[in-house]
Structure 1
Amino acid sequence: VNQKMLFDNSTPNTVFVLDSGNVHLRSRADTTAWVAAIPSTVFINYDNAGTDHNRGRFVVERYNYNARKWRFYSIPDTTVQTINQAWQEGATNISQNPVPGYGTLIGSYYSNWNTPARQWFDMYTAGGHDMKWWSNDASQRYNTIGKTDTLIATNTGWMKFVRGDRTVTAGTGISLLRTRGKIKRNAQSVTFTATAANQYFSVGNPYPSSVDMRQISKSGFVSGPGARVQQFLIWDPRLGGAYGLGAFQAFAWDGTNYRVTPGGGSYGANGTVDNIIESGAAFFVQSSGIGAGTVSFAEATKVDGSREVFRINGLEEKLSVILESNPVGETPEVMDGLMAMFDDSYTNEIDANDLKKFANPGENISINKGDNNLLMIESHPSIVADDTLFLKISGMKARPYRLNIQPENMAKPGLMAWLVDKFTETSTPIDLLTGLIYNFDISTNPSAVPDRFMIVFKNATVVPVKIVSIAAERNNNGSNTVKWRVENETGVAHYELQRSHNGSNFTALQSNIAATNNNGGSEMYNRIDANPLVADNYYRIKATLQNGRIEYSAIVKLSQVKAPSSITVFPNPVKENRFNIEFVNQPEGRYVLDLLAANGQVVYSFAVMVTGNNFIKTITPARV
């Protein structure tokens, strides 16, 4: 089965006889097969002869793209297989690769297959075991497996570091992991007992199908009031950049849908609505108090294959802070993020409306509430003057970063906000309508102090002048024009136009620009950069007030002119059932293409991973 498997219940008491072969639910780069909702009147007769159950079962696959990443898997069947039988494909020694392309290596801090006593681990891994499970108890930790003859069936989840199939040790490769057994159906649930509020518990998607979190119910002490889970976490292997190991995405209920923070990676941008848990995925929920909690699934929660992602704007005031890597000349990548929501119904105390920070193995950013209480999502009372969000960073590397601050429904009269950088001793205004991109570097230990940043809210009367907008544009003669607008202009000594090649290190381009009026009104300024940089140009305005106070505008970026881009097929017409596709100056990433016949029918589909500005892929279609 390559896509949807649907059981017909038009005949009462339909019986699906599975007594000889297996049903294989395939998983590939572009799609994973799924089983639609199974009517209660449908019966599945499995072959129960023998003990190995090699036939009369469902074989459920999970495709893994070629990257060395942690993955968080669920097991959608009640298999009697061990970890060795399933994900090591039954190998009996380290060098065996029983089914090329399937299975993976499992490492531990033991040195070989039979040490200490037939543990059946493939190799030594300095960081310890690369397959773990979450405790779901008061210890709140990952536990390691003792050996790989442990049963793989679970209703919570497995955290597994995947390099590729059983041939891959040092590099990367594509792999397919699979289990064989009776698929889970009808009502399913995961129950836990919390010893405190804000503890985490793992839950596996029980079905070989995507599910809609809006249709999943909960009871007891799970994630806040109401019938729905208020927040949950999903591990995203694509988050954290090309060299990261993955990071958590947080999903918060807005009354209608779930919205993602920080977004990017496998999902849409920050704030995108996404209600889907993928087939084969596990996730975390948070306890709201001491006692038992249950997360429940039903066949009606299943949805068809592709994820539903769209953009929606709510009315709640929100402020998201996205931590991004910012390598020179490359596209920034999301590393982590946080969100603060503001409403009179919230309190300053940590409660079920808040989402506790679950640390990533790489870079982290969170809201620090003190006493080691770190939040990924804070539900905060409506803002008053002098409110402050104290941020905490950790796991930073020596490289350029940026904070992408995104407000929503925050712009209102009298409210202003600044990002305070203690290391550079600067305060940068945050435009509460359009947000702020703040570039910074980590190079020394002082630049990586955890409490380097905070966001401070003030009344507009505190500062007499505000640079409300800044823009830059190219001119036909090769120069750039920088424009900025000032409101409440009073007490200004002079302005300075500054330029940077990386958004962090600025130098003066034009100094001692006199204030035009200084009468408390609004004023527009523009200046020419006659010799702009060949690459990207970053600009900002420095305002020096008569009392010696320094204020900075937001930063505007004028990107270098991009070369023409194209996608070309050659030779055309195709010769000898082979052709090339050339991608010139196209964004790097995965492209899915269809080859159509003259009648418009798709005769061949394939995926291409573009990895450079001038990338050529040779295609030899099969059976065309």
Structure 2
Amino acid sequence: GRRRGLNRGPDDAVAIISTMLYPATGPLKDGNRVVFDDAFSDIIDRNDAIKTANAGINFGLLRRNTSLAVETKSALKATDTLFYTMTGVPVGDFRIGIAVENIQPNGLTAELVDKFTNLRTSVSLTDSSFIHFSTTSAVASRAADRFMLVFRKSLVVLPVNFVSISARRQADRNIAIDWKVANEINIVRYEVERSANGVNFTGILTKDAAGTLSYAQTDLSPLAADNFYRIKAIGLGNDVTYSSIVKVAPLPGKASIAVYPNPVTGNTINLVFTTQPKGSYALQLINVEGQLIYKGSVNVTGENFNHSIKLGEMAAGGTYQLTIRAEDGSSKTIKVMSE
């Protein structure tokens, strides 16, 4: 069809939804984009970009049996649905990132529908959302049409719309989880769910619905490593809506240089560097008579770095002084005992 031009003033903004597919950790694999404007039509024409297949993972949009990388549509409305198509996805853990630009919700809500798990996850129309999922040996988990993004009038379809969710670590190391909702209709309670990997979640806290816009709970026993959180809203008919997922990173380890075990065994000194600057460290070991027993260096390359010093015969019950000197001239001396 004939290409349509957009005659815009400097303050006009294009409404866009970009959907990207990532592994659970790692860089973007593929993605697609939808542009909404009444200057476009809902038929496939020259304004749409046909999807060119990649050698690996492909994540596009499907319209009239045609795979698109960019889809142009008339202005967003309550009857719209984006049909995703994915191919070449191996078994593993992944996340879908949905970014919105210049979308005016006007009473609309969006849900990502997962046909494999039968879950419907609320997607923000004012901020970015990330939804984690897994593929398995089950063919249906890797089905091309597993996902679609459905738009509806909020008061008609969704009893609650998650406006935002946040999680932050407190000074006492507990984690505070806050969420805001809109259109809270026929909701019985909320459950805070936690995960170590962003895929498998378990309910840890419950909050009864109170007809307010904001809620808060505190995880008093967070995991030592990563903590992923999401909110599960449960309605009168046991219908379920999920929020987006947020992540709280682990606490950084306390900086230290230590010998473990001490007293040492087997004439081997095991040095443990924790959260130390990367670089070369000079090592010097002397005995109680001031004699040099060992001199060397180690190149520390990570936040948790181990280095072993293999020595000749160490005197049983002997006492030594191990000096570790960094490139900036700072040093630390550790009293080392031998069994």
TM-score calculated relative to the size of structure 1: 0.40
Match of 1:523 among 198, 209, 213: 213
Percent of residue pairs bearing the same amino acid type: 33
* RMSD (Å), alpha carbons: 2.8
The answer for the alignment partner of 1:103 in structure 2 is none
1:496 and 1:318, CA in 2 relative to 1: closer, same or farther beyond 3 A?
same
The answer for the alignment partner of 1:382 in structure 2 is 75
Q: Which has the higher contact order (CA 8 A, sep 6+)?
A: 2
The answer for the alignment partner of 2:184 in structure 1 is 489
The answer for the alignment partner of 2:288 in structure 1 is none
The answer for the alignment partner of 2:109 in structure 1 is 416
Confirm or deny that 1:449 pairs with 2:139.
Answer: no
Give the Cα separation in 2 of the matches to 1:396 and 1:415: 31
Give the Cα separation in 2 of the matches to 1:565 and 1:379: 52
Spell out the pairing of 1:13-162 with structure 2 (5 A cutoff): none
Give the Cα separation in 2 of the matches to 1:336 and 1:450: 14
Structure 1: 5+ residue stretches without partners: 1-196, 198-220, 227-252, 257-312, 572-579, 586-624
Give the Cα separation in 2 of the matches to 1:490 and 1:322: 31
Quick one: which amino acid aligns to residue 71 of structure 2? E
Contact 1:468 1:486 in 2 (8 A): yes
Give the Cα separation in 2 of the matches to 1:389 and 1:486: 24
The answer for the alignment partner of 1:346 in structure 2 is 40
1:531 and 1:314, CA in 2 relative to 1: closer, same or farther beyond 3 A?
farther
Quick one: which amino acid aligns to residue 555 of structure 1? I
Give the Cα separation in 2 of the matches to 1:413 and 1:481: 31
Give the Cα separation in 2 of the matches to 1:565 and 1:407: 40
Deviation at 1:415, TM superposition (A): 1.8
Give the Cα separation in 2 of the matches to 1:225 and 1:527: 51
Deviation at 1:529, TM superposition (A): 0.9
Deviation at 1:323, TM superposition (A): 0.7
1:469 and 1:582, CA in 2 relative to 1: closer, same or farther beyond 3 A?
same
Give the Cα separation in 2 of the matches to 1:366 and 1:561: 38
Quick one: which amino acid aligns to residue 46 of structure 2? A
Give the Cα separation in 1 of the matches to 2:8 and 2:280: 48
Deviation at 1:358, TM superposition (A): 0.3
Contact 1:326 1:333 in 2 (8 A): no
Deviation at 1:502, TM superposition (A): 1.4
Contact 2:230 2:244 in 1 (8 A): yes
Spell out the pairing of 1:360-371 with structure 2 (5 A cutoff): 360-371=54-65
Deviation at 1:490, TM superposition (A): 2.9
Match of 1:504 among 199, 205, 219: 199
The answer for the alignment partner of 1:459 in structure 2 is 153
1:448 and 1:496, CA in 2 relative to 1: closer, same or farther beyond 3 A?
same
Contact 1:423 1:446 in 2 (8 A): yes
Contact 2:191 2:204 in 1 (8 A): yes
Spell out the pairing of 1:322-361 with structure 2 (5 A cutoff): 322-327=20-25, 332-361=26-55
Confirm or deny that 1:320 pairs with 2:30.
Answer: no
Quick one: which amino acid aligns to residue 354 of structure 1? D
1:478 and 1:409, CA in 2 relative to 1: closer, same or farther beyond 3 A?
same
1:254 and 1:390, CA in 2 relative to 1: closer, same or farther beyond 3 A?
farther
> What SS does the corresponding residue of 1:446 show, helix, strand or coil?
helix
Confirm or deny that 1:544 pairs with 2:271.
Answer: no
Deviation at 1:489, TM superposition (A): 2.3
Contact 2:279 2:299 in 1 (8 A): yes
How many residues of Structure 1 are paired with residues of Structure 2 in the alignment? 264
> What SS does the corresponding residue of 1:447 show, helix, strand or coil?
helix
Deviation at 1:497, TM superposition (A): 1.0
1:353 and 1:565, CA in 2 relative to 1: closer, same or farther beyond 3 A?
farther
Spell out the pairing of 1:192-591 with structure 2 (5 A cutoff): 315-327=13-25, 332-371=26-65, 373-444=66-137, 445-462=139-156, 463-511=158-206, 513-517=207-211, 522-562=212-252, 564=275, 566=277, 568=279, 584=302
Give the Cα separation in 2 of the matches to 1:254 and 1:581: 60
Quick one: which amino acid aligns to residue 474 of structure 1? R
Contact 1:540 1:556 in 2 (8 A): yes
1:353 and 1:570, CA in 2 relative to 1: closer, same or farther beyond 3 A?
farther
Quick one: which amino acid aligns to residue 215 of structure 2? Y
1:364 and 1:254, CA in 2 relative to 1: closer, same or farther beyond 3 A?
farther
The answer for the alignment partner of 2:323 in structure 1 is none
Deviation at 1:583, TM superposition (A): 5.8
Q: Describe the superposition over 1:433-463 as per-residue Cα deviations: whole angstroms up to 9, x where unpaired.
A: 1121011111121210110000011112222
TM-score calculated relative to the size of structure 2: 0.71
Runs of 4+ in 1 over 6 A off after TM superposition: 253-256
Q: Describe the superposition over 1:341-398 as per-residue Cα deviations: whole angstroms up to 9, x where unpaired.
A: 0000111111111110000010000101133x10000111111112101000100111
Quick one: which amino acid aligns to residue 33 of structure 2? M
Give the Cα separation in 2 of the matches to 1:498 and 1:548: 17
> What SS does the corresponding residue of 1:347 show, helix, strand or coil?
coil
> What SS does the corresponding residue of 2:28 show, helix, strand or coil?
strand
Give the Cα separation in 2 of the matches to 1:487 and 1:473: 22
Quick one: which amino acid aligns to residue 224 of structure 2? V
Deviation at 1:422, TM superposition (A): 0.7
Contact 2:33 2:69 in 1 (8 A): yes
Give the Cα separation in 2 of the matches to 1:562 and 1:345: 51
Q: Describe the superposition over 1:530-582 as per-residue Cα deviations: whole angstroms up to 9, x where unpaired.
A: 111111111111111113321111111111234557565889xxxxxxxx997
1:314 and 1:421, CA in 2 relative to 1: closer, same or farther beyond 3 A?
farther
Higher strand share: 2
Quick one: which amino acid aligns to residue 203 of structure 2? A
